[in-house]
Amino acid sequence: MVSFEAVELPRVSFPVGLALVAGVAIALRLLWRSDPNKPPMLSDVVPYISNTYQYMGNMDRFLARAKEAVKLKNIVGFHLGPKNFFIITGPQNIQALFRTSPHIDFEVFLLIAIESLWRASPEDYAKFKNDKSGRSATPAKGCENQPESKRYWYTLHRVLHKYLETTQYATMLARHYQRFFSEYLEQRPQGEWTEQTIMGLMKYDMAKAAIVASLGTHLFDMHPNLLDMAWPYDEVLVTLLFKPPRWLFRRAARIQDNFHAAISKYFVDANERFDWNGPDADADWEPIFGSRYFRELVKWMKASELSLQTCAGITSTTGIMGLNANSVPVCAWALMELVQDQELLGAVRDEVSTAFTTDPETGKRTLDSQKVLTLPLLQAVYVEVLRMHVSMNITRAATKPLEVEGYTLPAQSILQAPTQISHYNESVWGVEGHPATEFWAYRNIKYVEEKNPETGETKQVPRFEMRGRPTDFFPYGGGIAICPGRHFAKQEIMLSLALIVSKFEIEFLGWEKFDGSPSDRPPKEDSKYAGAAAVPPDRDMRVRWKRIW
Ligand code: HEM
Ligand SMILES: *[C@@H]1O[C@H](CO)[C@@H](O)[C@H](O)[C@H]1NC(C)=O
Ligand SMILES: *[C@@H]1O[C@H](CO)[C@@H](O)[C@H](O)[C@H]1NC(C)=O
């Protein structure tokens, strides 16, 4: 069993323990002198405890301290419970972290999710835990004789890579997404002003279109209120990830139980209905399992002989939550930025209008989705929102002693590269008048001269040009573990924005809390999601909008 020792906080008689530890700590401090061969460490007022508490409970404060520390050296260490943690930054170190190396392991963390989020049965958990053959086609040293059917990491990676990550399948998924999302938008009355909240739009219409495109319509036929179960689950995922004792988080555990039970029912029913030898087995899309991607994932689950409990867990978390938990808040932030700045909204709308073709006879408009992906300003908005609102602790473990910044870190050290440090690096992203802490749609736009070949006139045209390098911007992680959904996510987010701004006139009405009551301030990031990918806004935006076509 994996338990994340780092969160096993002392539960009994805390003040007494604290006093004792503090005494010992002060004594040790008097003896301890900084060692030039050891990496700098974040000071721990109460060793092993105060940093742990802050890390778990006050991320902003902890990160601020870490940010200060890495100004001097691109590494800073701390203890999280009994574990050695190191926060690393800087282009070379980030690059090293993403490199495939037998000295760096990331499966340790996936195992935590396999246990706490997939809730894999013990036998299935053991399959992953004992598979040391890696994700590459060539098995790791010492595992050459392991049959392919028992190479769980590799075979899963192969499915995700082929059916989710390649352009062909990502684009197919996006095409179906576009079809469903347009359909939902067109349910709004044409030519009539109505009210809408942005998070409401994203959490329901966008998420539903993504689920239907990916997993089919049958799931919603069985569970019309699926999203009302999914979003409360989203709120407790981070808590559940570290597997707190069930008695402490009863509500969270119950939400998870309900969701997994509903998905389990769907999984059984879908498998009974589906004809694996019929023509739909390799269809682009069909109602029962949806996309080729999800159908192949189901096939892999069956071939790996995973229990129903595990299959339901994979479908619930990787299949449904992973699909929406990041794209939805990212798209919501982007739309909120556009609505707040009507000039920017107009500029994006003009740009998007160049990606439509209109049939001269029927007047029917078609969005050229490939063209949408190349629009500079829309792409710049997408990147700016990812930069600001993806907060991911990219985490790897050192299996052997590891050299970083000239220091040798002990084996079993945990290395973390928080996107929040690199994505806010002023020397990379800051522009006069537009610090990295601020949203600025034009941060990654460069104006270049373009000559009209006929008239010879030149004019300034915008180009998308990323200000940072891949080591300054890694919202999707990196290396072999990089998010396989990133191409689909990009298309999904850009297409959604393109459809919304071109189909609707939109005006800002006000900020509100999620219970519908007014808020006197705009949203901040909802810190309970920090470190686990996209961070949603803690307030919603109410708009009035009118569908034009
Ligand atoms: C803006 C949207 C998204 C963001 C920011 C995001 C981010 C991430 C990150 C940071 C990782 C871990 C990478 C690492 O440790 O190096 C990841 C993994 C993953 N993501 Fe995404 N993701 C997004 C959308 C999606 C979508 C739409 C899907 C599915 C269609 C998806 C499926 C997955 C899967 C299956 C993994 C696990 C991959 C593995 O372990 O092999 N993601 N994502
Ligand atoms: C991510 O790291 C920060 C500190 O860098 C910490 O406060 C936070 O709890 C971590 N979050 C997760 C989900 O690991
Ligand atoms: C910020 O960027 C500069 C330039 O690439 C780099 O040298 C430095 O290490 C970065 N700082 C952090 C904290 O990532």
Q: What are the chain's domains?
A: 148-547 (1.10.630.10)
Q: Which ligand is nearest to the CA of 91?
A: 3
Q: What one-character DSSP code corresponds to residue 448?
A: E
Which residues lie with the beta carbon below 6 Å from any ligand 3 atom? 70, 74, 89-91, 421-422, 425, 427-428
74 CA closest ligand 3 atom index: 9
Residue given tokens 């595990």 in the structure block: 310
* Whether the CB of 485 sits within 6 Å of ligand 1: yes
The 10s digit of each residue's pLDDT in 177-214 is 999 999 999 999 999 999 999 999 999 999 999 999 99
* Whether the CB of 177 sits within 6 Å of ligand 1: no
Q: Which ligand is nearest to the CA of 533?
A: 1
425 CA closest ligand 3 atom index: 1
* Whether the CB of 415 sits within 6 Å of ligand 2: no
Instruction: Write out the chain's pLDDT in tens, 549 residues.
Output: 333 333 333 343 445 545 555 555 554 554 445 566 789 999 888 888 889 888 888 888 999 999 999 999 999 999 988 889 999 999 999 999 998 787 888 888 899 999 999 999 999 999 999 999 999 999 999 999 999 999 999 999 999 999 999 999 999 999 999 999 999 999 999 999 999 999 999 999 999 999 999 999 999 999 999 999 999 999 999 889 877 777 888 999 999 999 999 999 999 999 999 999 999 999 999 999 999 999 999 999 999 999 999 999 999 999 999 999 999 999 999 999 999 999 999 999 999 999 999 889 998 889 999 999 999 999 999 999 999 999 999 999 998 999 999 999 999 999 999 999 999 999 999 999 999 999 999 999 999 999 988 998 999 999 999 999 999 999 999 998 899 999 999 999 999 999 999 999 999 999 999 999 999 999 999 988 888 899 999 999 999 999 999
* Whether the CB of 491 sits within 6 Å of ligand 2: no
Distance in angstroms between the alpha carbons of the first and the last residue of the chain: 56
Q: What angle do CA 177, 525, 376 make, to 5 degrees?
A: 50
Q: What is the DSSP string of 48-114?
A: TTHHHHHHHH-HHHHHHHHHHHTTTSSEEEEEETTEEEEEE-SHHHHHHHHS--TTEE-HHHHHHHH
Q: Are strands 83-88 and 75-80 parallel, antiparallel or unpaired?
A: antiparallel
309 neighbors 118 (Cβ within 8 angstroms): no
Closest-CA residue, ligand 2 atom 12, reads: 531
163 neighbors 292 (Cβ within 8 angstroms): yes
Closest-CA residue, ligand 2 atom 5, reads: 63
The residue among 548, 374, 384 whose CA lies nearest residue 475 is 384
Structure tokens at 341: 């700045």
In angstroms, rounded to a whole number, what is the distance separating the alpha carbons of residues 289 and 29? 60
In angstroms, rounded to a whole number, what is the distance separating the alpha carbons of residues 403 and 156? 31
* Whether the CB of 66 sits within 6 Å of ligand 2: yes
Q: Which ligand is nearest to the CA of 57?
A: 2
Closest-CA residue, ligand 3 atom 11, reads: 90
In angstroms, rounded to a whole number, what is the distance separating the alpha carbons of residues 215 and 269? 14
332 neighbors 500 (Cβ within 8 angstroms): no
Closest-CA residue, ligand 3 atom 1, reads: 425
Q: Are strands 83-88 and 414-418 parallel, antiparallel or unpaired?
A: parallel
Cα(427) to centroid(ligand 3), Å = 7
The residue among 94, 96, 106 whose CA lies nearest residue 134 is 106
Has 483 been labeled as part of a binding site?
yes
* Whether the CB of 481 sits within 6 Å of ligand 1: yes
In angstroms, rounded to a whole number, what is the distance separating the alpha carbons of residues 264 and 156? 20
Q: What is the pTM of this model?
A: 0.92
Element (H, E) at 459: strand 458-464
The alpha carbon torsion through 90, 92, 97, 103 (nearest 10 deg) reads -130
CA distances from 305 to 58, 269, 295 (A): 42, 18, 15
In angstroms, rounded to a whole number, what is the distance separating the alpha carbons of residues 494 and 51? 40
The alpha carbon torsion through 168, 165, 419, 371 (nearest 10 deg) reads 10
* Whether the CB of 300 sits within 6 Å of ligand 2: no
The 10s digit of each residue's pLDDT in 493-521 is 999 999 999 999 999 999 999 999 999 99
Rg over CA atoms, the chain: 25
For residue 102, count CB atoms less than 10 angstroms from its CB and return exposed for 0-12, middle for 13-18, buried for 19 or more.
exposed
* Whether the CB of 113 sits within 6 Å of ligand 2: no
* Whether the CB of 110 sits within 6 Å of ligand 1: yes
540 neighbors 200 (Cβ within 8 angstroms): yes
